[in-house]
Chain A
Amino acid sequence: MTLAEVLVAGVIVSSSCCASLQVWSQTVQTTQAARDLVQAGERLELQWLLSRRWLAAAELGCPLDPFALEVGLDQALPREAGISRRLAMDPNREGVWLTLEHNATGLLRRQLFTAAGSGWCSSSRETSS
């Protein structure tokens, strides 16, 4: 064991320790980001299912009124912090677009609901789950 050998070994070990620490730091950040994404997806999915269920069971008249729909949805399902919800009329007036967005991660859920597809405007309406 010579001094040069010890010095070279020290440099190698310290360099690899330094690089390993950096990689571990990135690993922690990536894991946290993945966990945030999963949690955001679960929260969004829950809100999405509740909103869809409410829309499917809603007593609506034709033509559709997205403003009245949004008011009713807000009363039935209070907005959750960190998640924005919008109901907008389709440009072709085929139905309404429900949009849910998780503000922190930018995750987005968006679907068109038409009166025919949702069974809103039939005389004997049935609700889908």
Chain B
Amino acid sequence: MPNCLLVSASRWHPSHHYRPKPKPGSLRILHAQPNTGFVLPLALGTSLVLLLGSASMHSLALHGRLRARIDAQQHQRRDQLRSAAMAFAAQAAAPGQDCLLAWGSSDWDGLNRACPTADVKALRAGQVGETRWRLLDWQPNGEQAQLQLVMVASGSAAQLPLRRTDACFQLHSGLELLPAVDVAIASPDEAAP
């Protein structure tokens, strides 16, 4: 069998580098090569690289989509807080509320006699759309005021600037998100459905 290749099963050793030249006409026997068994580790390594590479790229893509969704939710949260501030401004424009709005919200409880026609409850909490909001703080400062409120369901809170016009407080651009407030702990009666 002239084309047949016989491979020895013997283990490779450095001393096997030297092999006497076969005599003409004799059967050539190839000893085991030093690269025996390299295919399987190579295949495993290649597979590992392929799978890890594609998995990491996929996780990057998922992260990008998640970030886009979080951005969209952030916009919606800001819209909700602006809506609540608009509702507060509507309540603040009601007759008799001016008496309270000249003071910070921490002083309102002591102004019952001074402001008999004011509706404190309407300023402290309300509902806009399907979600309830609650006032955290109101601080007037001349013709301007800072309003802090929280959405009861999500706990997201914000501070918004308002400016007094002739008849009411007008909402201005510039909404600053505040750390989320746990409304259930801060005021359990508001969190209850």
Contacts and interface: CB of A to CB of B under 8 A. Distances in A.
B180 interface: no
The secondary structure that dominates the B interface is helix
Interface in A19-46: 19-20, 23-24, 26-27, 30-31, 33-34, 37-38, 41, 45
Nearest to B35: A1
B170 A128 contact: yes
Interface string B154-166: 0000000001011
A117 interface: yes
Interface string B132-143: 000000000000
B69 A37 contact: yes
B102 interface: no
Contact of B86 (A15, A34, A95): A95
A56 B140 CA distance: 23
A115 interface: yes
Interface string B167-186: 11111110000000000000
Interface in B36-90: 36-40, 42-44, 46-48, 50-51, 53-55, 57-58, 60-62, 64-65, 67-69, 71-72, 75-76, 79, 82-83, 85-90
A103 to B, nearest CB: 15
A16 interface: yes
A125 B37 CA distance: 85
B43 A13 contact: yes
B93 interface: yes
Contacts, number: 155
Q: Which of B53, B76, B83 has the most CB of A within 10 A?
A: B83
Given A9-B40, A41-B71, A107-B72, A34 B61 contact: yes
Given A24-B57, A122-B166, A110 B79 contact: yes
Contacts of B35: 1
B51 A16 contact: yes
B90 A117 contact: yes
Interface string A5-21: 11011101101110110
24 contacts: A5-B37, A9-B40, A12-B47, A13-B46, A17-B50, A19-B50, A19-B51, A20-B50, A24-B58, A27-B60, A30-B64, A31-B65, A34-B61, A41-B68, A109-B76, A109-B79, A110-B79, A113-B86, A116-B90, A116-B169, A116-B170, A117-B87, A124-B166, A129-B173
Given A1-B39, A34-B64, A122-B165, 10 more contacts: A12-B47, A34-B61, A41-B68, A111-B82, A112-B87, A116-B86, A118-B86, A118-B171, A122-B168, A123-B166
Interface of B: 35-40, 42-44, 46-48, 50-51, 53-55, 57-58, 60-62, 64-65, 67-69, 71-72, 75-76, 79, 82-83, 85-90, 92-93, 128-129, 163, 165-173
